[in-house]
Amino acid sequence: MIRYDDLLLNLFHLIENERSMSSIYYLLKGKKSSQTIQDAYLFQMENSYGILKNLSKQHFTEAVQRLADKQLITIEKEQIYLTDQGRRRVLQLDQSMFVLLKGHIYHKSDHLFKDTLLLLFQTVSMLIQKQNRFIPIVDQPYVQTKVKKILLAYRKNVKQLADQLFEELYRTLSVVPDQSATLFMQQFSGYQRIGKSMQQLADHTGWMKEDIHLHTFVVVHQMMSIIEQKREDFPLLSNLIEKHSSRLTASAQRTQELFHAGKTFDEIVEIRNLKESTIQDHFIEMATYHIDFPIHDFLPDDKLKRVLEVIQHAETKKLKPIKELVGEDISYFQIRLAIAVINQRKKVSV
């Protein structure tokens, strides 16, 4: 079971000596700075990016102090050092539980997903009992609009909507551990039952509120990835997640399919009978929107590094001056891919 203090300790372990403790605070808050984002990937802690957006500095400082009181860490001038005891604790941690968090992918959409689900659930639960007057448990107008749209799409066929919601929730929640699913469901409101707040669940379990929060978002992220893996299997819940891949143009999608099927760039140009520059554009699109784009297939590490360095130091984002600086052996296409990769990280992570 994931716990806040363990997560913190693990993160401090990852950055030890190299970054200040505030960098972890910014990571958890999901600060939109390139430093925070680059660090997230550099230290391989991107899955924790933005998972505690409402964390206050005070709560964070208290948590750090708690770790120090337990003699797991020492604090020296904003730097965190793990004690031997802390190190042993990290070794005992089950790393697989952290992997279930997917902050780098979902930090932008997870709250919206959860809020929309809470309101949709309450609405359906009330409507099947013929209660159409109730106080919506989520205030935000855009969430309410979204739920209204879904209701309209089902042409107010509440029974069918309830069947579908029940079935899809059952399928997704069956995959997560029972205890987490229960903590999650207890936050839901509906007919004759108002959900528990995270504070109440924390008081009841004797955990901290942050623990409940992490649990909740482990469940949310798991649900979201299950749904995204096969959207067509979740005709209702997939409406609650904005499509990322749909940002690719149809033609680029076709190119991507061929690429995933193992075709090379030149083969794709030939198969699709399109201009080389068009296929290049498709690859730029893919690199911009997909985190797992294999940039190294197109740009060896040393060259990528050179481009990134130049871009970082150059005052301009224009291609020509950058091309002049990086030298003859790197093509425009390669520079554009490098920029796309930078943007892609910013986009997915900000």
Partner 1 sequence: MNDVHNKDLNDALKFHFGHDDFRLGQKEIIESIMNGYDTLATLPTGSGKSICYQLPALLGEGITIVVSPLISLMVDQVKLLKAEGIKRVAALNSLMDPKQKSVVLNQLNQYKILYCSPEMLQQQHVTERLSLMKIDYLVIDEAHCISQWGHEFRPDFLRLKDVIRQLDHPTVLALSATATPAIQEDIMKQLEIDMNKLIYPIDRPNITFSVSEIPSEEKLAHLIDILEHKKVPTMIYFSSRKMSEFVCRSLQKEFPDREVAFYHGGMEQQDRLLIQQQFMHDQLDIICCTSAFGMGVNKGNIRLVIHYHMPPTIESLIQEVGRAGRDGQPSVSIVLYSPGDEGLPFQLIQSELPSENEVEFYLNGRESGQNPEEFLDESKIRFLRLQDEQIKPFERIGDKKQAIMEYRNERERVKSNGVLQLLEWIQTSSCRRTELYSLFQNNVMPASAACCDRCDFSLHEWQNLREEERRQQTSFQDNWVSLLEQLLDRKVQS
Residue closer to partner 1 (CB basis): 186 or 251? 186
Residue closer to partner 1 (CB basis): 197 or 316? 197
- What's the DSSP call for residue 97? H
Span near partner 1 by CB under 8 A; candidates 8-16, 77-85, 184-192, 259-267:
184-192
**Pairing of β 73-76 and β 79-82:** antiparallel
Q: Which of residues 95-124 bind partner 1 (CB under 8 A)?
A: 115, 121, 124
CA–CA separation, 37 and 239 (whole Å): 28
Rounded least distance, CB 157 to partner 1, Å? 15
- Map residues 24-63 to x or -, x wherever contact with partner 1 holds by CB under 8 A: ------------------------------x---------
Rounded least distance, CB 100 to partner 1, Å? 17
Rounded least distance, CB 172 to partner 1, Å? 11
Q: Which among 23, 89, 34 has a CA at the least distance from the CA of 60?
A: 23
CA distances from 225 to 1, 237, 243, 260, 316 (A): 19, 12, 12, 20, 37
Q: Which of residues 121-180 bind partner 1 (CB under 8 A)?
A: 121, 124-125, 128-129, 132-139, 141, 162-163, 165-166, 169-170, 173, 178
Kindly report the CA angle at 246 between 244 and 250, in degrees rounded to 5? Answer: 150
CA-atom Rg of the chain in angstroms = 23
Residue closer to partner 1 (CB basis): 218 or 339? 218
Rounded least distance, CB 194 to partner 1, Å? 4
Query: Contact at 8 Å (CB) between 152 and 279?
Result: no
Residue closer to partner 1 (CB basis): 193 or 305? 193
Residue closer to partner 1 (CB basis): 103 or 190? 190
Residue closer to partner 1 (CB basis): 19 or 196? 196
Q: Which two tokens stand for residue 136?
A: 């919506």
CA–CA separation, 162 and 169 (whole Å): 10
Q: Which of residues 194-223 bind partner 1 (CB under 8 A)?
A: 194-201, 203-204
Count the neighbouring beta carbons within 10 Å of the beta carbon of residue 157.
12
Residue closer to partner 1 (CB basis): 89 or 196? 196
Number of residues that bind partner 1 (CB under 8 A): 45
Residue closer to partner 1 (CB basis): 184 or 259? 184
Q: Give the residue ranges of DSSP H helices in the chain.
A: 4-15, 21-29, 34-42, 57-69, 84-92, 96-99, 103-106, 110-127, 141-153, 158-173, 178-185, 198-205, 209-229, 250-260, 265-272, 276-289, 301-313, 319-326, 332-349
CA–CA separation, 36 and 74 (whole Å): 23
Residue among 38, 109, 186, 239 that touches partner 1 (CB under 8 A): 186
Q: Which of residues 300-329 bind partner 1 (CB under 8 A)?
A: none
Mapping DSSP to helix (H, G, I), strand (E, B) and coil, where does residue 240 land? helix
Rounded least distance, CB 235 to partner 1, Å? 17
Give the residues lining the site for partner 1 (CB under 8 A): 54, 115, 121, 124-125, 128-129, 132-139, 141, 162-163, 165-166, 169-170, 173, 178, 181-182, 184-186, 188-201, 203-204
